Structure 1
Amino acid sequence: MPQQPPVRSTPARPSRPDASMSLLTNVMDHSLDDGYAEAAARRKAAGTEGLPKTVRAKLGLAVGLVLAALVVTVGAAQARISAPVVAKEREELIDRIQQETAAADKLEDSVDGLRDDVSARQRRALKEDGGSDGNDLVGILSGAVEVHGPGVRLVVNDSKSAAQGGDGDPRETSGFSDTGRVRDRDMQRVVNGLWASGAEAISINGQRLTALSAIRAAGDAILVDNKPLAPPYTILAVGDGQRLSTRFQNSPDGLYLHALQENFGIRTSISAEDDIKVPAAPSVIVRTAEPSTEKGTS
């Protein structure tokens, strides 16, 4: 049997290192699109590429370059001339702002000083005549003096669900949209209940209450004499501590507060204290009255 000649194998050609990146290789090798290349070749063949050939075209190009250079030069010169003027006006404006701010601060300090002086004179007017017992009582009732002694500490706070943003059913009798929040009318009832139970001086979060104090609401905030207060509300009442606490809790207003706690989760705590301090009111309005000299007719 004749033998077949051995098959001679040809060595495999080594592959290019960038064979797997054919797209990138094509982009690098043909950076100019074929259409652009053909258009450039046509312009070259027609002799229209490069700078203008005619004298008229060259003059037009030169005039355009001169005009562009002139515009840039004039703009730079104007900016250079106006820069010091703008900087000076800016400095003058800053100086005026600083002067007016300093004047406003000085006037505000003067107003604060006059307000403090008026408050001090009002307090002295309430404590004239050698500090008699009657005038001391007037000072306490008007809130002109600081008061300390035995009393009651009452803390009223929103419910936990209200603090976390939870919603509840509205109160049927008052139309509140959030049952877990303490409202201004709740605080009014609490304060009135403490007065009726024998409190001699009351403050809420350090804000002294007087006969002219107002408890109002602005949105969700409670205002005491136009000063916003934030929960928890700490109410200090000077009086006969244990007796004041018992009488308040048994009063209709104390039972109302207990109902808020039971039905709507409002948190409350009350304790009798041996010594609490109620600050003086920040401002006191002095009002005087004189007896009439005219005799009544029979």
Structure 2
Amino acid sequence: MSDHEHDRTTPEPAAGPHSVPGPRPAAGGSLRKELPDEVPAPVSAPTPTVEDGGTPPEPPGSDLTGRQRLVKGLWPPRITRAQLIVAVLLFGLGFGLAVQVASNSEGDSALRGARQEDLVRILDELDDRTERLEDEKQGLEKQRDELENSSDQAEEARRQTAEKERQLGILAGTVAAQGPGITLVIEDTKGMVKANMLLDAVQELRAAGAEAIQLDGVRVVAGTYLSDSGNGVSVDGNKITAPYRFKVIGKPQDLEPALNIPGGVVQTLEKEQATASVERSAKIVVDALRPAKQPDYARSSSP
């Protein structure tokens, strides 16, 4: 082949409708790799804005210290819905605890404001009640021992039964009684004393160990009821008016302090512009009687 023939270039085939023109051969018989005219820059994530909940970008050239960055991150605060719900629940819990503590404090305010001699008197009254219960326990144990050791148990049983009947008769109001006690007189010139105040006095006397109570000729027993009746009070259907006179049998050293405790019967009556006077006595006679009522259905279970 001649040099002229080498210099001749073979014609390229015609490009078809789907053909891609290939790279043209470079001078010297080698192919030149062509680069694209523009290389696209990598896409970076968008910077969060303040509206999206992100931190606002710092201005260029700012040089913040660690403390300044901390303050900037905490303020202004960004409160979420969950944090708001937790805050409301904690506030409700704290308010409930505060109300409970306040109610307990009000219940103890009477004793907290009492004088030292009043507290000593209340403590002595509690000691006296404990002593009475211990004496009752010892009496019952003594009766049991007498029944177990007596040679004539039938006679001892009859004697104890008669004694028990007498004691129950006093409590039921069917038997007259006498013994040491107090007399309580309540003057009510303003007409402010109501049935509930007299009932409080009865309950306070019973708690202090009263064994027999008589109110203006009416024997007070377990089933006694009091109600307001015009300008007076009705006791078991019997109307009484001021001055109200209580005759109480019991230990005077226990009965009188029970009426004079702070916030007790005497102070309550004084707030209603009434006066109450208590007098101890070595002999109180309670002679108002109640008829013995035969039960309609209950019967003794003993043979």
Q: TM-score, normalised by structure 2?
A: 0.43
TM score, norm. by length of structure 1: 0.44
Write 1 or 2 for the structure with the bigger share of helix: 1
Q: Which has the larger radius of gyration?
A: 2
